[in-house]
Homo-oligomer: A and B are copies of this chain.
């Protein structure tokens, strides 16, 4: 990147101190929206030009929604704000001594730097899984998975090899958290309502969906009741739940579990863990468990002017000794809180410690079923939980247009038992097939 090394990213001069925010996810976008109302120059950097509403990615992957419905252009979200600048760029490293960041398009100086780079899929160093399984953390992941699932069935109708057919009809989801449970439920719905219409030649009794979780129960982050309810609901979609087992390897055709069991499949969805998106240039001593250690003001350990919020930040508190959960509400709350603290810093007021408000958690399992844990003891399940789940996701999704589009898609899907978006628009070539001669994509 020699050419870009000397370039300074042009940003007009300002009388206000410059806050550079890395990442337009839930934390970074919320912070940017709060800061532009105060006396700061705000520069938001992201490698994509859009914000992703990650909780609904699984619906893009399972042909329920279009990518545009769950993503909003960052420039549109921030349009009309003065002294705000968006730059689409990948950040390469941070130079804290010089108050600079280095990106693929040049350098940028900051008065305050906020790292909101989020998290990415954690394959825990297992190369066979990293090479062959499908992550589900970004829009291209979701489109790849969708194309793969559909291409898989196109191949299933023409195969005369029973082993090949088995591998194409088996699906393994690893990770029994909300993402894994929601993917399994959505695949169960596709199996029951959508795919048999498209592929009348296939016998969908042969389609098997496995959900593998290392813990003793599903949804380990939620209440035991909700974990149990999710399991019961998944069984109604004939999802086979395998608990207390880990995946040792996946070569693209076969999953090996740690009890010696093997499952033939072409499709492993990996929802078993995430890790922080660390950036070069921050001292190793500030990293704990792959995340940036921050104090109660979200200041990164060892740095005055560098802050971290959202999934990338780990703040150890008495209530959360291992940091807050890596979820959207924590990210949004930290973004809001840091905007206030940066203002306090600017006017010489004392900083206030961040306190996380747990709003509860939830997961949906196909049509008409969900589980919701409110703070305290209130638990919901079934249809009422499903309505709560829909309502909360709709009010949170960015932008009124997306709300409208998501809502009309859901109404349509609900009434017709259909999924409209079954297009293979991003043909996916798995690694193990890239060299095959008879590639048909």
Residues of A within 8 A of B (CB): 1-4, 9-10, 12, 48-50, 66-68, 71, 73, 75-76, 79-80, 85, 87-90, 103-106, 139-140, 143, 150-151, 154, 157-158, 160, 197-199, 201, 399, 401-402, 404-405, 408-409, 412, 416, 418, 420-426, 436-440
Contact = CB atoms under 8 A, between A and B. Distances in A.
A48 B199 CA distance: 16
Given A66-B67, A88-B154, 16 more contacts: A1-B438, A3-B436, A3-B438, A4-B438, A9-B158, A49-B424, A50-B424, A76-B420, A88-B424, A104-B439, A105-B158, A139-B425, A399-B420, A401-B418, A402-B420, A405-B409
29 contacts: A1-B438, A3-B438, A4-B437, A10-B158, A10-B160, A12-B201, A48-B424, A49-B150, A49-B422, A49-B424, A50-B423, A66-B67, A67-B425, A68-B421, A73-B198, A75-B197, A75-B198, A75-B422, A76-B418, A79-B197, A87-B154, A88-B424, A88-B440, A104-B439, A143-B425, A399-B420, A401-B416, A402-B420, A404-B408
A82 to B, nearest CB: 9
A76 B422 contact: yes
A106 B68 CA distance: 36
* Across the A-B interface, the 7 shortest Cβ-Cβ residue pairs: A75-B198, A73-B422, A4-B438, A88-B154, A104-B440, A3-B438, A68-B421
**Central interface residue in A103, A198, A399, A440, by most chain B CB within 10 Å:** A440
A423 B66 contact: no
B401 A76 contact: no
A416 B76 CA distance: 13
A197 B88 CA distance: 16
